[in-house]
Structure 1
Amino acid sequence: MATVLITGCDRGLGEEFTLQYAARGDRVIATCLDPEAFGKTHRLGANVEPVKLDVTDETAVLQLAAKLDGVAIDVLINNAGIPGPHPALEETDLTLWRSMLEVNLIAPFVISKAFAGHVAQSEQKVIAFITSRMGSIGLNNTGRSYAYRSSKAGLNMVMKSLAIDLGPREICVLGIHPGNVSAQPGRGLTVSESVACMRDVIDHSGPHQTGTFYNYNGQILPW
């Protein structure tokens, strides 16, 4: 049984990661803005612990890390993030841009730094960042979305540097694009399909894969 810490579990990918890891019997520490509502929505077993956490609150992050002192975390999934919108140049909202940088870029760094010791104590030793191909400079052929693109491009650089700095501790640091996820049938991957594929990438990763930017299906993406 692995121990998995996931951020942003109130809905979407984080919610599905929690349910899938829990279903296979892993211990899941699921951080949420509203853990009470999360617990009411799902029938959670004893192996799931919903925890209240605002990922932009560094003090709260450090307090949680201290509370979990001595707990070996096999997989840390930095999932919490602001997904959009994706406006054109003239409609770029600087206030939203600053929020995206705080949530999508700085918070995952703070969390990874706080829990690196916990991950290093584990067997699996993986830190995964749910990023986006929209953060790839090489794949940007359509422009727009300055806030979101820059937050994810920055996250990719943080991930790459952490892979180097945490290499001596044998921690595998990955960036994973979840694919085109849609709630509408036939328009893309379902949330369940995306998470199942990403879990497979995580399960098959090790020290030699650290610092890699993956598509949900294991394909390596360009920076």
Structure 2
Amino acid sequence: MEEGMPTVLITGCDSGLGEEFAIQYAARGYRVIATCLDPEKLSARHAFGSNVELTRLDVTDHAAVETLAKRLENSPIDILINNAGIPGPHPSLQETDAHLWRKMLEVNLIAPLIVSRAFVEHVARSDQKVIAFISSRMGSLSLNNTGMSYAYRSSKAGLNMIMKSLAIDLIPRQICVLSIHPGNVVPDCSGGLSIAASVERMREVINEAGPHQTGTFYNYNGQILPW
């Protein structure tokens, strides 16, 4: 691994957006720390090079998060991508399950803050200094015109509030904190926004981010979304 390579740490790389983030950053020469629940399964699908470190991590295991942060204490992290999350389902009021709701809040809302807190010093020592949260426009109060999905909407609305507070708190350290909606991604063969295209555009948003963009809620294409 070459010295001076920028480093990205990504949570939730088992599939979907996280997996694609790892693939794209690896292809562009980043040192990639790809955390997931099943590294063996991920490595069986992709022959990653020496610049990718597949690491088992359950983001709801706070002790494991701290252990990983300790292990990487000498590694500046240019980009931290809080991607791990539970995407659905989106039931009606009467079908909302409180147990799933609590689990969704733990994964989608609490864990990203715990991860960010554990790695904030790593990000502060880097050159790029970006913390990105993969959020959703379903967390926007202004854009909610269809109701339902109480658990998911509340988890992402809360995540956006965490992002905003963290952005304010980290201004003195010149760390840029963002929320990004990945778009309505579809399977690559169906003609809509593919996972690969979504991640490519989100990487552009992250790459262009600096202190002046901190605290902003972006669409994958760089458009600013309303709260």
| Cα deviation, residue 36, structure 1 | 1.4
Is residue 2:214 matched to residue 1:218?
Answer: no
Is residue 2:119 matched to residue 1:115?
Answer: yes
CA-based RMSD of the aligned residues comes to 0.8
Name the counterpart of 1:66: 70
Is residue 2:139 matched to residue 1:135?
Answer: yes
Name the counterpart of 1:80: 84
Name the counterpart of 1:147: 151
Is residue 2:37 matched to residue 1:33?
Answer: yes
Aligned structure 1 segments of 4 or more residues deviating by more than 3 angstroms: 184-187
Name the counterpart of 1:106: 110
Aligned match of 2:193 in 162, 178, 189? 189
Aligned pairs for 1:92-103 within 5 A: 92-103=96-107
1:191 is matched by which residue type in structure 2?
Answer: I
| Cα deviation, residue 44, structure 1 | 0.7
Alpha-carbon separation, structure 1, partners of 2:140 and 2:190 = 25
| Cα deviation, residue 80, structure 1 | 0.1
| Cα deviation, residue 187, structure 1 | 5.4
Name the counterpart of 2:205: 201
SS at match of 1:49: strand
Relative to the length of structure 1, the TM-score reads 0.99
- Identical aligned pairs, as a percentage? 71
Alignment deviations for residues 70-94 of structure 1 (CA, whole Å, 9 cap, x no partner): 2100000000000000011111011
Is residue 2:44 matched to residue 1:12?
Answer: no
| Cα deviation, residue 122, structure 1 | 0.2
Alpha-carbon separation, structure 2, partners of 1:45 and 1:222 = 39
Alpha-carbon separation, structure 2, partners of 1:112 and 1:184 = 31
SS at match of 1:91: coil
SS at match of 1:90: coil
Alpha-carbon separation, structure 2, partners of 1:49 and 1:148 = 30
Alpha-carbon separation, structure 2, partners of 1:10 and 1:177 = 19
Relative to the length of structure 2, the TM-score reads 0.97
Q: Which runs of 5+ in 2 are unaligned?
A: none
| Cα deviation, residue 185, structure 1 | 3.9
Name the counterpart of 1:173: 177
SS at match of 1:205: coil
Aligned match of 2:49 in 45, 61, 77? 45
| Cα deviation, residue 118, structure 1 | 0.1
| Cα deviation, residue 188, structure 1 | 2.7
1:15 is matched by which residue type in structure 2?
Answer: E
SS at match of 1:221: coil
Q: Which runs of 5+ in 1 are unaligned?
A: none
Alpha-carbon separation, structure 1, partners of 2:169 and 2:68 = 23
1:50 is matched by which residue type in structure 2?
Answer: L
Is residue 2:166 matched to residue 1:162?
Answer: yes
Is the Cα–Cα contact under 8 Å of residues 188 and 195 in structure 2 kept in the other structure? no
Is the Cα–Cα contact under 8 Å of residues 35 and 57 in structure 2 kept in the other structure? yes
